[in-house]
Amino acid sequence: MKIKNWMTSNPITVKPNTPVMEASKLMKEHGIRRLPVVKGDQVVGIVTHRNLLEAAPSAATTLSIHELNYLIAKLEVKEVMQKDPICVSPDDSVMDVMLMGQEKGIGAFPVVDNGRLVGIVTETEIFRSVMHLFGGKEKGDKFVVLANVRLRERVGAMSRISSIIEGLNVPVLSIFSLPHRRSEGNRLYIRVNTIKMDQVKKALSEAGYKLED
């Protein structure tokens, strides 16, 4: 799956000299939390809702309300934005971008084609693309999530897990894994369609696997 099929095309943008208050208003009006910052066609930064919140003066300030309003009105996006953000290509793989975001702790990437901004992809779009790949829209589909499965160290781990579930006469519809952010091993997502979920969880637990809610 390519990023171009899931990104938001022609995203709303701001310029470096856009007032912070105007950027905040745009986010509220369009229900978004990130804005690419462009100079001409070039992406020079990205500003997030969190950046704007952190730019607000401390409640402990001794400035008057008039002084505060004056300072905020003068503040521009270039003073609070994240400079030189990591950009991705429309032809990049969704999986590669997802893993890069997880590795670097990034929730959104400007999408650039030949140096020109063509879109933005956030963790929301990436999540939708993964759910599309993984399935789970059929009535009765359920998910079992296992934590800390050491796929790299145990050859055949997925087949053993599938055997446990299918031994209960429950077909495994799909399996998907992601590395943990802060611990070793993988988080394993298993899609099934059954009324025997309690039996499935019990069998996996008795086999030594840690289940997540």
| pLDDT one-digit tens code per residue, 71-84 | 667 789 999 999 99
Please state the rounded mean pLDDT for residues 131-146.
74
Position 193: which residue type?
A: N
Domain boundary among 78, 110, 129: 129
Domain boundary among 129, 144, 178: 129
Strands annotated E in 141-194:
141-149, 172-179, 186-193
Same domain, 162 and 78: no
CATH number at residue 198: 3.30.70.260
Same domain, 33 and 120: yes
pLDDT of residue 141: 82
pLDDT of residue 59: 45
* Total domains present in the chain: 2
Q: Render pLDDT for 88-108 as a digit per residue (tens, 0 to 9).
A: 999 998 888 988 988 888 889
Same domain, 44 and 117: yes
> Does residue 140 have a pLDDT over 90?
no
Mean pLDDT, the chain, whole residue set: 85
pTM for this structure? Answer: 0.63
Same domain, 94 and 178: no
Classify residue 37 by burial, with Cβ atoms within 10 Å: 0-12, 13-18, 19+: buried
For the chain, the C-alpha Rg in angstroms (whole number) is 23
Please state the rounded mean pLDDT for residues 174-199.
82
Classify residue 200 by burial, with Cβ atoms within 10 Å: 0-12, 13-18, 19+: buried
Same domain, 92 and 160: no
Same domain, 18 and 64: yes
Please state the rounded mean pLDDT for residues 166-177.
90
Determine how many CB atoms are found less than 10 A away from the CB of residue 38. 19
Same domain, 39 and 87: yes
Same domain, 35 and 96: yes
Domain limits for position 64:
3-129
> Does residue 60 have a pLDDT over 50?
no
CATH number at residue 42: 3.10.580.10
Percentage of the chain beyond pLDDT 90 is 48
Domain boundary among 109, 129, 149: 129
pLDDT of residue 135: 66
Same domain, 96 and 38: yes
pLDDT of residue 26: 95
Q: Which residues contact 154 (CB under 8 A, 6 or more apart)?
A: none
